[in-house]
Chains A and B, each alone.
Chain A
Amino acid sequence: MTRVLFVVVGLVVLSWTPLAGAQTATEPMSGEALLRGPLARPAARLAGAQVLRGQFTQQRHLSELPRPLIASGEFLFAKELGVYWHTRKPFDSVVTLTPSGIVERAEGKETMRLSADDQPGVRMVARVFLALFTLDMASLERHFRVIAESGDGKSSRWSIRLEPRGDALASVFVHANVSGDEDVEQVVLTDARGDRTVIDLTAVQYSSTPPSATTRALFEPASP
């Protein structure tokens, strides 16, 4: 039993790399300072929101691949529930991220289910996604070193860089850049090989009423 557990321990998340050397141009700013400064307005808006919905475009830039892989669709974030990620193009696929795991459905059928308990990396990714959407600085700072890259007070635009503290997230990306103005507008994930995933969020709407039954139903299959 003990050995069993420790096998796991080692193999937990087989990451491609340890941290790449972080080169930061600017001084790190504490999460609280960021929330008082450049992130004050988007964070305030998010704090009041119960449900958040909008459109996304995802581009993956891969080595040896001449053109990026582009996908688009709509997303929905509901507090306490998770993220509902509906890819419309180039094909229809729904991914639901909740604290307990990730479920993927294509053409109405469940095609994959990753339980956070079985695959620890999944829990991390789910948590980070949720934190990104809420700008939950406390949670982000636990897993990342948070560095302010711009947001000098003159313009309302801001950009922060997140560098994972642990290996579990480093297996997914070595750093993430999150930027926006009133809202979170773009997330760029960069992995150790330099492959990048760029996610643009547009037409974001807030709702301060709790998620409706229809919205809840979207997450149903994801709950264990």
Chain B
Amino acid sequence: MNRLPAPLRRRFIAWSALMLGVLGLGAFQVLPDLALETDVLALLPRTQQDRDLDAALQSFSAGLARQQIFLVGAANPDGARRAAEAFARELRRSGQFATVRLELDGDLRRRADVYLRHRAWLLAPEDRNLLAAGELDRIRNRALRAAYTPMGLMQPVSLTEDPLGLTGRFLSSQVPALGRARIEDSMLTVDHGGHRYLLVVAEVQGSAFATEVQDRVLPVLEAARDAARAAAASAVDIVSSGALRHAAAAADRARREISTFGTLETLAVVLLMVAVFGALRPLLLGALTLALAVGSAFTIVHLVFGQVHLLTLVFGSSLIGSVIDYSIHFLADRFRDPDRWTPADALSHVGPAILLGLVATLIGYVVLALVPFPGLEQIAVFCMTGLVVGCGSVLCLYPVLARASGRQPPGLGPRVGRAIDEYLRRWRWDAMKIGVTAALAVAVAFGLARLRVEDDVRSLQHSPPQLVTEEQRVRELLGSGLETRFFLVTGDTAQAALESTEELSRTLDDLVRSGALAYYQSVTRSLPSLAQQRRDHDLLSRTVYAPGALLEQVMADLGFEPAAIENRRREFAGQTEPMGIDEWLAAPASEGLRHLWMGRAGDRYASIVTLGGIRDVAALEGAQSGSARLIDRVAETSGILGRYRHIMSWLLAAIYCVAGLVLLARFGWRAVPRMLLPSIAATLTTLGLFGWLGVPFNLFTLLALWLVLGLGIDYGIFLHHGRASRPTAILSVTLSACTTLIAFGLLAFSATPFIRSIGTTLLVTITLSWSFVLISSLTGLPRDSKREEKIS
């Protein structure tokens, strides 16, 4: 310590202070409200629209994601009812759900109220058509039959107040189609396979994707299941559907994998380091570097983005590879001259190579951060922070901390380095090797031609089979599943949006009749546009309430006095105002529908029409118009994945060029191909191999290739710098390749497809990259070999 130059000491103190500051920020700002995101879709850019509308769509989707459907079933109806009641009670008691619905709203009159106040302006679509077509006899006959037969008992509004049944028909038309579920004893019921199932719908508080919400809700679900079983006193079958359990399963698996892989990784790295360095200090230094890098990266990303995505963490583990590389390069430098080595020597000897490697890698991540893709920004910020902190820690802390122990380091490392070096020195580019290389190149080219691209987002998310089966059973029981497609209707004014929604509804009515669609849900069946209400009011005035018109005829036929007829006319005339949007939204009647009215979004107004039981997507696409757009989040997302895969492929090529130029400026044109070509060749060979093996190429494969870019360049630079002490440089590069392989080789066994994609790619590419870079940097070219032979 005393012999250490003052600048190094100052640097050590400043960096330590900085690290303490960042970690303190992490502990006090980030840890208290940690948010881990697991939805792959959250990493994708918003659909290409104006921001406000997008935000509105986002909140609509988030609302859907909060919904959980449960079907509680038992062999007998009483058991099912008791089970469902106990289940719902337990959910309510937990306080984790914003709403839990089993029974219907008791006060139904409240719901009808707003419609009754405006019934002079409302008509059921069928009645509107009859009145407009002048088929007044049908309405008259219907009214007379209602007065004399049991049919009249079914009318929701009394015969005196609603002699023609028009109000009653409007109210009845508010009952939409609901798949297989029907209402039985005021609960939604499905009978299937001798079982009765009752529907419980609950909405969680907070995001279904937030781990802390999942951690609170899952035990409640278990408790509710137990309560249901206990209450039914018989076998209870509970199936559910909703994003929460899928998200929780994904998060849980990720946590499990991270802890399993993390433990194995740590063990393997510990063994490796102890075997090579023969002391604990290098290991502790590596762990410290890693902890600082990951801790700071996590803190900074959380501060910048408000949460950290699972994928970012996976990439974070890539830092294990790169950051540990810096410390390995630094520490392995000791093998150059084990007896006289000091940390300050290492700083001057490998410091420039480490810095140069960092710069080349950072270029890649800066470009990644500039791509307007929220997930990539996060990953880039995470990696850049981690790399800078890791590199800074090695360069600033190690000169003080990495004192060599008095003991001789084990001979294993140098032996491996020497063995590889000797093998490489014997390497000759003879005709056979060149032939094999050429043959391989051809095979790779054919493999590349066979490479299958896979952008379907569904193939990247993977849920446990049990949840998928449950989801299918819910779909089977209800006759419809959660449809991800819906229509977005916009207009310059609120009324224009409603009118466009009505227009779309008419088209969809035809599609329902033709079987392309089972049903749809829109606000306009309950909340007609003002224009429609005025037309209906006008129609009613002319055909029903005019002197001598339908009302008078029917009421006179039934025997009502003129005074009673006058009462009805007065009531009609007394309702001078059509039903407004705000009034409807505020009324109990709109509950369950009002989420479809998005209102003002930016400078436009929007409403959503949800769809059920889609059978013909092309027909739905045909129903689009200037103001009504079919939104398909899944297809859009897959499209976006594809587009970004495309852009990022070009970016990768571009960054190889930029990195090439940087290296060219530093090392000259002869050295650069030796540093860059191995990574490029490894990348192409991997893809060629994937082509032959049928492993699909996707955005996540590409992300892994970005990582290879950085690591591969590091190897190249390092071997170039270390030409003077080849065995040490070889050992250094081999050690770092091994740690990376340990880290990513394990990811290849992940159950999450997109993580597996990254793991497999890296496993293959790093192995190739390591062997290629050794061959290309440390063996002579065919001509060089001969020259070197002569010299030696």
CA distance A200 to B139 in the complex (A): 28
Report which residue of B144, B148, B478, B612 has the largest number of chain A beta carbons within 10 angstroms of its beta carbon.
B148
What A residues does B157 contact at CB under 8 A?
16
Chain A 52-81, CB within 8 Å of chain B: the 1/0 string? 000000101011111101010000000000
Contact with B along A1-38 (1 / 0, CB 8 A): 11111111111111111100000000000000000000
Determine the interface band of chain B, counting residues with CB < 8 A from chain A.
35 or more
B106 sits at the interface (CB 8 A): yes
Contact of B156 among A16, A18, A193 (CB under 8 A): A16
Which residues 414-443 of B sit at the A interface, judged by CB distance below 8 A?
none
Contact B109 A17 (CB under 8 A): yes
A167 within 8 Å of B (CB atoms): yes
- Are the C-beta atoms of A8 and B188 separated by less than 8 Å? yes
A160 at the B interface (CB under 8 A): no
Contact B156 A14 (CB under 8 A): yes
CA distance A217 to B596 in the complex (A): 46
Complex: A173 Cα to B150 Cα, angstroms? 13
Q: Which residues of B contact A117 (CB under 8 A)?
A: 182
**Given known A-B contacts A3-B67, A125-B154, A60 and B159 have beta carbons under 8 A apart:** yes
- Secondary structure of the A side of the interface? mixed
Q: How far is the CA of A5 from the CA of B70 in the complex (A)?
A: 12
Inter-chain contacts of B183 with A (CB < 8 A): 8-9, 12-13, 120, 123, 168
Does B201 have its Cβ within 8 Å of any Cβ on chain A? Answer: yes
CA distance A5 to B153 in the complex (A): 26
Closest to B568 in A: A64
B199 within 8 Å of A by Cβ?
Answer: yes
Q: How far is the CA of A125 from the CA of B199 in the complex (A)?
A: 23
Q: Does B18 contact A (CB under 8 A)?
A: no
**B178 within 8 Å of A (CB atoms):** yes
Bound complex: CA A95 to CA B159 (Å): 19
B151 touches A4 (CB 8 A): no
Q: Which of A42-50, A106-114, A178-186 contacts B (4 or more CB under 8 A)?
A: A106-114
Q: How far is the CA of A118 from the CA of B147 in the complex (A)?
A: 23
Whole-angstrom distance from the CB of B701 to the nearest CB of chain A?
Answer: 35
With both beta carbons as reference points, the residue of chain A lying nearest to B563 in the complex is identified as A64
Distance of A87 Cα from B145 Cα, bound (Å)? 10
Contact with B151, one of A2, A66, A102, A166 (Cβ below 8 angstroms) = A102
| Known interface pairs A1-B483, A64-B567, A91-B148; A69-B186 also in contact (CB < 8 Å) | no
Given A18-B109, A71-B149, A95-B149, CB of A4 within 8 Å of CB of B612: yes
**CB-defined interface of B144-187 with A at 8 Å, one 1/0 digit per residue?**
11011111111011111000000000011011111101111110
Q: Which residues of A contact B142 (CB under 8 A)?
A: 111-112
B101 contacts the other chain (Cβ, under 8 Å)? yes
A residues lining the B interface (CB < 8 Å): 1-18, 58, 60, 62-67, 69, 71, 85, 87, 90-91, 93, 95, 97, 102, 104, 106, 111-112, 114, 116-123, 125, 129, 142, 166-168, 171-173, 189, 191, 193, 195, 197
* 20 examples of A-B residue contacts, CB within 8 angstroms: A1-B483, A2-B201, A3-B593, A5-B69, A6-B201, A8-B176, A8-B181, A16-B156, A62-B160, A65-B564, A87-B148, A87-B149, A91-B145, A91-B148, A95-B150, A111-B141, A116-B182, A142-B185, A167-B186, A193-B158
Leading 3 A-B pairs by shortest Cβ distance? A120-B183, A7-B592, A71-B148
